[in-house]
Amino acid sequence: MRLNEIEVQHYRNYDGLTLDFPKTLNIFLGENAQGKTNLLESIYVLAMTRSHRTSNEKELVHWDSDSARISGVIEKKTGTVPLEIIISNKGRKTKVNHIEQKRLSSYIGQLNVILFAPEDLSLVKGSPQLRRKFIDMELGQVNPIYLYDLVQYQSVLKQRNQYLKQLAEKKQSDLVYLDILTEQLAEFGGKVLFARLEFIQKLEHWANLLHKKISHEKEELAIDYFSSIPLDKENFSLEEIQKQLLQSLLDNRKRELFKANTFLGPHRDDLIFNVNGQNVQTYGSQGQQRTTALSVKLAEIDLMYSETGEYPVLLLDDVMSELDNERQLHLLETIEGKVQTFLTTTSLDHLNNKLTVEPDIFYVHQGEIEREA
């Protein structure tokens, strides 16, 4: 999959901008605070409808404007598809083939992107929330039904927590309604869990191949889905998971009523990365943790290809300078030629003598972009 062209209007510090991308590797070069990340972010928003940096949509619109618009033409094996998103204080409007899309799940997945920023190197060390977001974003792109189930799960969870609070405050006493919410939670939560377990098995396969390569066959990477309920992670079916989640919620009811909160379910889960059988979060060196994060992130390229038959578009925001020489080479080797890449940097030093394909270089300066002649 490729992004052939993009048009950006009143987005962040861009007034208006049209660019086309005939080359596979596109490098955005510029000093700090010129708009490099803003441009990558606009591609990310075109794909995902939301920013990776903020949940406040107002920030995305140029200070002097009421609405921002991003449009692009993507090229897939099945043909070209125009995409468009308009962001204003009335919300987001999305179009595929110039037709407005009512459902998020019919828009997301048209353009698949993987964004890699320096903060992703903390995927291993960071909070469980970061790892859950990682799963949700990546899985949601290849599986729109997952997104739907997740949204349903979160909505029932919110209702259920509110109701538990009302029960605790004695504003309500009807436990039948709690039963209904519990069943609904187990239904959608089970679907979310099932999809995640399948996803992690596949991700582990691809990530381990990369990790072995980067570590010169010295290290094996295993990814374990850490669930708040007991699960058989080798042999699982949707029905069994839903049954187990329901049972665990019922077993835990006393505590939930006391604390007025839902403690079990996919919103409490985590990932554990093991290198040669040791938890790399706890015992790994910084280098091992970085290799793990890099392997897991790059594994998504192969995973998306195996799931959709198309390579995603890769967005690399300032990561080259964060990696040592050897990891830089591995990164470039993985992408060159086959994966369309948008890379930002403040200097070409890290790239010189390492590229095997001819890039397009764009200079970014105060919200304007010029292609190198």
What residue is closest to Mg ion based on CB? 37
**Spatial CB neighbours of 106, under 8 Å, sequence gap ≥ 6:** 96, 144
**Please, what is the Cα angle at 324 between 320 and 325, to 5 degrees?**
90
Distances (CA, A) of 336 to 315, 318, 332: 13, 17, 6
Nearest-angstrom CA–CA distance, 275 and 292: 8
DSSP 279-345: EHHHH--HHHHHHHHHHHHHHHHHHHHHHHSSPPEEEEES-GGGS-HHHHHHHHHHHTTTS-EEEEE
Among 25, 29, 35, 211, interactor with ligand ATP by CB under 6 A: 35
Q: Does residue 143 come out as left (phi exceeding 0), alpha (psi in the -120 to 50 range) or beta?
A: beta
Answer yes or no whether residue 9 interacts with ligand ATP by CB under 6 A.
Answer: no
- Could you say which DSSP state residue 120 is in? G
Minimum distance, C-beta of residue 41 to ligand ATP, in the bound complex (Å): 7
On the 0-12 / 13-18 / 19+ scale of CB atoms within 10 A, 336 is: middle
Under a CB-based contact definition with an 8 Å cutoff, are residues 275 and 175 in contact? no
12 binds ligand ATP per the rule CB under 6 A: yes
Choosing from 56, 63, 176, 277, the residue that interacts with ligand ATP (CB under 6 A) is 63
Closest approach, Cβ 321 to Mg ion, in A, equals 11
Least Å from the CB of residue 318 to Mg ion: 6
Tell me whether residue 12 or residue 211 sits nearer to Mg ion (CB atom). 12
Encoded one letter per residue, x for contact with ligand ATP by CB under 6 A and - for no contact, window 339-358 reads: -------x------------
Least distance from Mg ion to the Cβ atom of residue 317, Å = 6
Taking contact as CB under 6 A, which single stretch among the options 31-39, 190-198, 203-211, 267-275 is the one that binds ligand ATP?
A: 31-39
* Among ligand ATP, Mg ion, none, partner that 32 touches (CB below 5 to 8 angstroms by kind): ligand ATP
The residue within the footprint of ligand ATP, chosen from 3, 7, 30, 163 (CB under 6 A), is 30
Tokens of 103: 């459902």
Residues 5-64 that bind Mg ion (CB under 5 A): 36-37
Residue with smaller CB distance to ligand ATP, 37 or 242:
37
CB atoms within 10 A of CB 92: 16
Q: Is 254 helix (H, G, I), strand (E, B) or coil?
A: helix
Number of residues that bind ligand ATP (CB under 6 A): 16
Contact string 307-326 vs ligand ATP (x = CB under 6 A):
-----------x--------
| Rounded least distance, CB 312 to Mg ion, Å | 21
CB of 96 closer than 8 Å to CB of 297: no
**Could you tell me the smallest distance in angstroms from the CB atom of residue 68 to Mg ion?**
18
Q: Looking at beta carbons only, is 32 or 356 nearer to ligand ATP?
A: 32
CA 320 to each of CA 117, 211, 252, 317, 333: distance values in angstroms, whole numbers, following the listed order: 9, 18, 47, 8, 13
The reply on whether position 88 binds ligand ATP by CB under 6 A is no
- Of ligand ATP, Mg ion, none, which one sits near residue 336, judging by CB under 5 to 8 A according to partner kind? none
62 binds ligand ATP (CB under 6 A): yes
Choice from 15, 59, 100, 174 touching ligand ATP (CB under 6 A): 59
Q: Taking CB within 5 to 8 Å according to partner kind, which of ligand ATP, Mg ion, none is near residue 332?
A: none
Min dist CB 173 to ligand ATP, Å, is 49
Long-range contacts of 145-152 (CB under 8 A, 24+ apart): 145/105, 145/195, 146/191, 146/192, 146/195, 147/104, 147/105, 147/108, 148/105, 149/188, 149/191, 149/192, 149/195, 150/188, 150/192, 152/188
Which window, 36-44, 138-146, 174-182, 298-306, contacts ligand ATP (CB under 6 A)? 36-44
Which residues of the shown chain bind ligand ATP in the complex (CB under 6 A)? 12-13, 30, 32-38, 59, 61-63, 318, 346
Which residues of the shown chain bind Mg ion in the complex (CB under 5 A)? 36-37
